[in-house]
Amino acid sequence: MSIGHTLLGLLESGPRHGYDLKRTFDVHFGHDRRLPYGQVYATMSRLLRNGRVELDGVEASGGPDRKRYAVTEAGITEVGQWLAQPEKPDPYLQSVLYTKVVIALLTDRGAAEVLDTQRHEHLRMMRVLTDRKRGVELTHQLICDHALFHLEADLRWLELTAARLDALARAVAAD
Protein backbone atom coordinates (compact mmCIF):
# COMPACT_ATOMS: atom_id res chain seq x y z
CA MET A 1 0.00 0.00 0.00
CA SER A 2 1.25 3.46 -0.80
CA ILE A 3 0.98 5.39 2.45
CA GLY A 4 1.71 8.70 0.71
CA HIS A 5 -1.05 8.27 -1.86
CA THR A 6 -3.47 7.12 0.80
CA LEU A 7 -2.77 10.15 2.99
CA LEU A 8 -3.11 12.46 -0.01
CA GLY A 9 -6.46 10.86 -0.81
CA LEU A 10 -7.62 11.37 2.78
CA LEU A 11 -6.66 15.04 2.54
CA GLU A 12 -8.91 15.57 -0.47
CA SER A 13 -11.91 15.81 1.87
CA GLY A 14 -10.27 18.77 3.61
CA PRO A 15 -7.23 19.89 5.61
CA ARG A 16 -6.24 17.71 8.58
CA HIS A 17 -3.65 17.40 11.31
CA GLY A 18 -1.27 14.46 11.32
CA TYR A 19 -3.15 12.96 14.28
CA ASP A 20 -6.44 13.09 12.33
CA LEU A 21 -4.80 11.49 9.29
CA LYS A 22 -3.43 8.66 11.41
CA ARG A 23 -6.77 8.07 13.13
CA THR A 24 -8.70 8.05 9.82
CA PHE A 25 -6.12 5.79 8.20
CA ASP A 26 -6.33 3.34 11.10
CA VAL A 27 -10.14 3.28 10.97
CA HIS A 28 -10.24 2.47 7.25
CA PHE A 29 -7.01 0.57 6.60
CA GLY A 30 -5.32 -0.34 9.88
CA HIS A 31 -7.30 -3.47 10.72
CA ASP A 32 -4.21 -5.54 11.43
CA ARG A 33 -1.45 -2.97 11.47
CA ARG A 34 -1.84 0.55 12.72
CA LEU A 35 0.06 3.37 11.05
CA PRO A 36 2.85 4.63 13.33
CA TYR A 37 2.82 8.36 14.09
CA GLY A 38 6.43 8.64 12.99
CA GLN A 39 5.53 7.29 9.56
CA VAL A 40 2.68 9.80 9.22
CA TYR A 41 4.92 12.75 9.99
CA ALA A 42 7.83 11.49 7.88
CA THR A 43 5.46 10.96 4.94
CA MET A 44 3.85 14.37 5.40
CA SER A 45 7.30 15.99 5.51
CA ARG A 46 8.22 14.31 2.21
CA LEU A 47 4.89 15.27 0.61
CA LEU A 48 5.39 18.87 1.78
CA ARG A 49 8.92 18.94 0.38
CA ASN A 50 7.67 17.52 -2.96
CA GLY A 51 4.84 20.04 -3.26
CA ARG A 52 2.03 17.50 -2.86
CA VAL A 53 0.73 19.13 0.34
CA GLU A 54 1.03 22.54 1.92
CA LEU A 55 0.70 23.83 5.44
CA ASP A 56 -2.82 25.10 6.02
CA GLY A 57 -2.09 26.36 9.49
CA VAL A 58 -0.16 25.76 12.67
CA GLU A 59 -1.87 25.68 16.05
CA ALA A 60 -0.06 26.02 19.32
CA SER A 61 -1.19 23.56 21.96
CA GLY A 62 0.05 22.23 25.27
CA GLY A 63 2.58 20.11 23.39
CA PRO A 64 4.27 20.51 20.05
CA ASP A 65 2.65 22.78 17.47
CA ARG A 66 -0.04 21.02 15.45
CA LYS A 67 0.44 21.41 11.71
CA ARG A 68 -2.62 21.20 9.51
CA TYR A 69 -1.96 19.95 6.00
CA ALA A 70 -3.92 20.52 2.79
CA VAL A 71 -3.48 18.71 -0.49
CA THR A 72 -2.22 20.76 -3.46
CA GLU A 73 -3.35 20.47 -7.07
CA ALA A 74 -0.19 18.46 -7.74
CA GLY A 75 -1.20 16.10 -4.93
CA ILE A 76 -4.73 15.73 -6.31
CA THR A 77 -3.30 14.98 -9.75
CA GLU A 78 -0.95 12.37 -8.29
CA VAL A 79 -3.80 10.62 -6.46
CA GLY A 80 -5.82 10.55 -9.69
CA GLN A 81 -2.91 9.00 -11.56
CA TRP A 82 -2.34 6.46 -8.78
CA LEU A 83 -6.02 5.45 -8.80
CA ALA A 84 -6.00 5.08 -12.59
CA GLN A 85 -3.01 2.69 -12.55
CA PRO A 86 -3.96 -0.97 -12.08
CA GLU A 87 -2.09 -2.86 -9.39
CA LYS A 88 0.30 -5.45 -10.78
CA PRO A 89 -1.06 -8.90 -9.99
CA ASP A 90 1.52 -10.84 -8.03
CA PRO A 91 1.93 -14.25 -9.66
CA TYR A 92 3.68 -15.68 -6.56
CA LEU A 93 6.32 -17.48 -8.58
CA GLN A 94 8.64 -17.32 -5.59
CA SER A 95 6.44 -19.02 -3.00
CA VAL A 96 7.95 -19.99 0.35
CA LEU A 97 5.39 -22.77 0.64
CA TYR A 98 6.33 -24.23 -2.76
CA THR A 99 9.99 -24.03 -1.75
CA LYS A 100 9.27 -25.93 1.48
CA VAL A 101 7.45 -28.69 -0.42
CA VAL A 102 10.32 -29.13 -2.88
CA ILE A 103 12.96 -29.05 -0.12
CA ALA A 104 10.96 -31.64 1.84
CA LEU A 105 10.98 -33.85 -1.26
CA LEU A 106 14.68 -33.28 -1.95
CA THR A 107 15.63 -34.13 1.63
CA ASP A 108 13.33 -37.13 1.96
CA ARG A 109 11.16 -35.42 4.54
CA GLY A 110 7.39 -35.48 4.62
CA ALA A 111 6.11 -33.11 1.95
CA ALA A 112 2.56 -34.32 2.67
CA GLU A 113 3.01 -33.24 6.29
CA VAL A 114 4.19 -29.80 5.15
CA LEU A 115 1.02 -29.48 3.06
CA ASP A 116 -1.21 -30.77 5.90
CA THR A 117 0.32 -28.39 8.41
CA GLN A 118 -0.19 -25.48 6.05
CA ARG A 119 -3.75 -26.56 5.26
CA HIS A 120 -4.58 -26.56 9.00
CA GLU A 121 -3.06 -23.10 9.41
CA HIS A 122 -5.01 -21.73 6.45
CA LEU A 123 -8.25 -23.19 7.79
CA ARG A 124 -7.53 -21.72 11.23
CA MET A 125 -6.95 -18.28 9.71
CA MET A 126 -10.11 -18.60 7.63
CA ARG A 127 -12.10 -19.27 10.82
CA VAL A 128 -10.53 -16.22 12.47
CA LEU A 129 -11.38 -13.99 9.51
CA THR A 130 -14.91 -15.38 9.26
CA ASP A 131 -15.43 -14.62 12.96
CA ARG A 132 -14.04 -11.10 12.48
CA LYS A 133 -16.63 -10.42 9.76
CA ARG A 134 -19.56 -10.92 12.14
CA GLY A 135 -21.19 -7.73 13.34
CA VAL A 136 -18.70 -5.30 11.81
CA GLU A 137 -19.14 -2.59 9.21
CA LEU A 138 -19.08 -3.41 5.52
CA THR A 139 -15.61 -1.92 5.00
CA HIS A 140 -14.11 -4.39 7.47
CA GLN A 141 -16.14 -7.27 6.00
CA LEU A 142 -14.77 -6.53 2.53
CA ILE A 143 -11.11 -6.55 3.59
CA CYS A 144 -11.72 -9.84 5.40
CA ASP A 145 -13.37 -11.23 2.24
CA HIS A 146 -10.31 -10.19 0.22
CA ALA A 147 -8.05 -12.13 2.56
CA LEU A 148 -10.44 -15.11 2.62
CA PHE A 149 -10.48 -15.35 -1.17
CA HIS A 150 -6.67 -15.43 -1.23
CA LEU A 151 -6.65 -18.15 1.41
CA GLU A 152 -9.20 -20.14 -0.60
CA ALA A 153 -6.95 -19.93 -3.65
CA ASP A 154 -4.03 -21.15 -1.54
CA LEU A 155 -6.14 -24.06 -0.29
CA ARG A 156 -6.95 -25.04 -3.87
CA TRP A 157 -3.23 -25.04 -4.61
CA LEU A 158 -2.54 -27.14 -1.49
CA GLU A 159 -5.12 -29.72 -2.59
CA LEU A 160 -3.81 -29.79 -6.15
CA THR A 161 -0.23 -30.19 -4.96
CA ALA A 162 -1.22 -32.97 -2.55
CA ALA A 163 -2.93 -34.80 -5.42
CA ARG A 164 0.19 -34.43 -7.59
CA LEU A 165 2.77 -35.06 -4.86
CA ASP A 166 4.00 -38.39 -6.28
CA ALA A 167 4.46 -36.87 -9.73
CA LEU A 168 6.20 -33.84 -8.21
CA ALA A 169 8.53 -36.12 -6.25
CA ARG A 170 9.49 -37.91 -9.49
CA ALA A 171 10.03 -34.60 -11.31
CA VAL A 172 12.19 -33.21 -8.49
CA ALA A 173 14.23 -36.42 -8.30
CA ALA A 174 14.83 -36.32 -12.07
CA ASP A 175 16.34 -32.82 -11.98
Calculate the average pLDDT of the chain. 91
* pLDDT tens string 120-149: 999 999 999 999 999 888 988 999 999 999
pLDDT-derived band at 61, boundaries 50, 70, 90: confident
94 pLDDT above the threshold of 70: no
Predicted model pTM:
0.74
CB 103, CB 115: distance < 8 Å: no
pLDDT-derived band at 58, boundaries 50, 70, 90: confident
* pLDDT tens string 22-47: 999 998 888 778 999 999 999 999 99
Q: Would you tell me how many other CB atoms lie within 10 Å of the CB of residue 43?
A: 22
Cβ neighbourhood burial of 174 (10 Å; 0-12, 13-18, 19+): exposed
Q: How does 130-141 read in b/e, with b if 16+ C-beta sit within 10 Å?
A: eebeeeeeeeee
